[in-house]
Structure 1
């Protein structure tokens, strides 16, 4: 038996839906505006997880072109019944304001790796929909319910709607509210389980911030408002455990092992503070986004589930007695020489799949055709991967020959269209081809080098770029030979790429930071950039006094 160290899925892996099929566990996570939609992992020991192909890999299943930042895929639900996998997912089109225009869909597959069936439209009643398979053979959609009316609370309880397997449609006239949550409000993320004589409803409350929590309610029927809330403290929360290494735990799912042990997979975060800040206000900056943790669950004498070690959870969790050792990487470094004609599974694009309109990959290079700016929600040539460690270096070799300042190609650290930075080759009137560093912070664009942009010597064919992320801050370097790198004297605050910073000015703050490659040509002349030998090298989660890095974490986020 081993100890599982949290988080089990580091970096942006939010809203986990966990199931077990025989001896294998699966987790589905939200992806929001990043394509392909829904991130899947599998494991046989709950500790080591392998990334699987994403199910929503075509525009037939998912088309998010033009979606707002943090729209798109919210809280997918994965289940298994009748010999196949069922995936319910939401495409949110409106993020800010009174409305949350969305569509919930259902797709199925007999193999977790696909193919997945064409989507069935379910409804747009609310987000965080999940499918409950009752023992009597009936099926129900369980979901948060959205109320746009300004004189009502927008989170209008948990609605249960029967799904007709004959017509493959919901029966809205039979819909009913089964739970209103507590006075904490913002009840969402429902999952329904049938255990012994009870239906157990797990639901999130308090918003997906530091006040986040999960509550449990139960009932012997599925009647309207028949669910009773678990007495005492919330099932899981870190609101009152500010020193815990893991924070924001709440929204998630319950799973049992073959031998009858129970675990709960939850979203979580690992915030950090600047040295001159209070450790409690602000609680911190979650630049890795919302990750996935796991906690062991025991049942009390009254039949209520409780987190082992208390409702704040622990960093280290006792693994299952029947765990089967799973081979999966302990960290997530990535080297890509672009030899394959398809993108590596770790790469993502924004809103739409990688197509010939963006460029091509194979034979040792990635070609990107310049399109819109990094603020564009429609036409953008960018591929990116998650930040999955607090300390890492990422490097790439670039070939680009611009003739206008409207043309840019290079390496980006990116949160959303309003929050990103970019080191890139461009052109200016003073020196021709140059290197610039720019940042978009709350939609305000800043060029850091301006007329002092670094001139690229005549005859130079390639430029190498490197970013060095060091938890609280990050910087960029360049090289003209791939050996000697020169630091650009611009140090950027990593907090700008955190959920918590984005939340201060924008309601969609759900995705975490990415590092990626981009080509821009908003002049419309389709200038092409070539990228070679991308190297994302993780260094660790913590730096030691001697300057080395470690993956070991303590129970406190301040050690």
Structure 2
């Protein structure tokens, strides 16, 4: 295999965790978690495993997914996409609360004959845990697997205290005619000594049921493990070499925290494993890009266990492609002129859709209008539309027409991780100087910081705003329509927009457009353009 046939990881850059892969003839689809971002679930498509295109968000109606009020990093966890007898099955968890012992979540199923939809209304399955997946056995029966969540204190149960809540993988039959789970519930796998067993998928190969799980938590000790049994309900024997993938065993890899994933078999019988991974900022150890999706080639050992083809357990950045195609590795460049363009599928909103009149391409011709809603800390209704950051270095720009009448009104460019981690370059109103520019930065305590320490008076007319990010440095600048760019000076530590900072969150940094009106008067901000340009 020559370098011309190498897949470059990650294959889905930026926040795209918990991949589930599905092959239909020569088409490959990967579904990934979207957490509190709407519409729910990202599905990418490829015909060559190396180059992927965002295809659709199947959960696009509030009847399928209403996340108003969901805390940060709740919403859609770990979707599972399968295809059987001409129908796509998409299983997902809607998590409403995860940071207490109890948790609140429900598992659902939607189906569609076409990957592009329309997808059905959700079928409720259960609420006993998360990371559900569907297995289609060759006898025609279907089985749902998920983590069993145990809320009780560790002293009352008999396994590792650090993993007390992760009480094993349970399985129950799904009846497609009755559209519900039926029959007994069996706990088929308690996991290995690493603990925190989750992310299960089941496969039937070579006369065995192979159970794939993730373990070790989704940070530095994350890993993937196979166990197998001749019988669906076990007992399951753990791979004698233990976890076949873990970044901790290969500290020189640029792909860290690798684990949760899914296996796909090519028409020629070759196997590939897609898995979540994270690329920390150089020298900072923080993953502002969130958890991404990578791929590894898998071979079967002489005694029938899946192994990474490169003969060690660490993930590789460059992987040989049996399909003979290389990754194009293009940096992304997007420019939208709202005289003629609309934002693409890459742009999502927190928790609910933004529809007319809150988001409008028609209210002011040539502009995208956002009506200001609740604060950027709101878990309910705020006017923010953004895209994933997918490279360590990028520039984002916009041109905005905004005439605030109150200090409670603000609009501009936002670098947004969640309601507790963001940097907002915004135009507002100052009673002493009139229209002004300021930078607002969120803190985990719920208070706001103002790193500039001042507001900058702005001239009349449309204003151009620019964000430049280089690894962990965030810089802002502005210009009048006819003037030169005016840098704000210095930089802000951007690394705070990461999973690892202050609390366990699971998404990634976004950049986009926002308008907020804390007075409740729905002040309009009109954007004439937006661009996102990645750099080496």
The bucket for the TM-score relative to the shorter chain is: over 0.9
TM-fit CA distance, 1:115: 0.8
- Taking structure 1 as reference, are residues 139 and 261 closer, same or farther at Cα in structure 2, changes over 3 Å only? same
Q: Is the 8 A contact 2:15 2:289 kept in 1?
A: yes
SS of residue in 2 equivalent to 1:388: coil
Aligned to 2:207: 197
Aligned to 2:168: 157
- Taking structure 1 as reference, are residues 409 and 254 closer, same or farther at Cα in structure 2, changes over 3 Å only? same
TM-score by length of 1: 0.91
Q: Is the 8 A contact 1:285 1:495 kept in 2?
A: yes
TM-fit CA distance, 1:325: 8.1
Q: Distance in 1 between matches of 2:65 and 2:49?
A: 29
- Taking structure 1 as reference, are residues 233 and 179 closer, same or farther at Cα in structure 2, changes over 3 Å only? closer
Write the mapping of 1:471-510 to structure 2, written as runs, cut at 5 A: 471-481=471-481, 484-501=484-501, 504=502, 506-507=503-504, 509-510=505-506
Aligned to 1:121: 124
SS of residue in 1 equivalent to 2:249: coil
TM-fit CA distance, 1:232: 1.5
Q: Distance in 2 between matches of 1:350 and 1:340?
A: 25
TM-fit CA distance, 1:524: 0.8
Aligned to 1:518: 514
Q: Is the 8 A contact 2:6 2:325 kept in 1?
A: no
**1:246 is the counterpart of 2:255:** yes
TM-fit CA distance, 1:355: 1.1
TM-fit CA distance, 1:339: 4.7
**1:406 is the counterpart of 2:408:** yes
2:528 is matched with which residue: 524, 529, 532? 532
Q: Is the 8 A contact 2:336 2:531 kept in 1?
A: yes
Q: Distance in 1 between matches of 2:133 and 2:517?
A: 42
**1:304 is the counterpart of 2:305:** yes
Spell out, residue by residue over 1:240-280, the C-alpha distance to the aligned partner (whole angstroms, 9 max, x if none).
22221111111010001111111000000111244xx6xxx
- Taking structure 1 as reference, are residues 514 and 190 closer, same or farther at Cα in structure 2, changes over 3 Å only? same
TM-fit CA distance, 1:330: 2.5
Aligned to 2:196: 186
2:438 is matched with which residue: 433, 436, 439? 436
Q: Distance in 1 between matches of 2:71 and 2:139?
A: 40
**1:264 is the counterpart of 2:273:** yes
Identify the range of structure 1 (147-156 vs 210-219) with the bigger mean alpha-carbon deviation.
Answer: 147-156
Q: Distance in 2 between matches of 1:372 and 1:490?
A: 30
Gap runs ≥5 in structure 1? 278-283, 541-559
- Taking structure 1 as reference, are residues 22 and 182 closer, same or farther at Cα in structure 2, changes over 3 Å only? same
TM-fit CA distance, 1:307: 0.6
Aligned to 2:160: none
Aligned to 2:223: 213
Q: Is the 8 A contact 1:44 1:324 kept in 2?
A: no
1:237 is matched with which residue: 239, 246, 249? 246
Aligned to 2:137: 134
Number of matched pairs: 521
Q: Is the 8 A contact 1:264 1:297 kept in 2?
A: yes
**1:99 is the counterpart of 2:110:** no
Aligned to 1:351: 351
Spell out, residue by residue over 1:390-413, the C-alpha distance to the aligned partner (whole angstroms, 9 max, x if none).
111000001111111110000000
- Taking structure 1 as reference, are residues 288 and 255 closer, same or farther at Cα in structure 2, changes over 3 Å only? same
Gap runs ≥5 in structure 2? 158-163
Q: Distance in 2 between matches of 1:49 and 1:107?
A: 23
Q: Distance in 1 between matches of 2:520 and 2:48?
A: 51
Aligned to 1:448: 451
Aligned to 1:19: 22
Q: Distance in 1 between matches of 2:368 and 2:462?
A: 14
Aligned to 1:285: 286
Q: Distance in 2 between matches of 1:134 and 1:324?
A: 32
TM-score by length of 2: 0.94
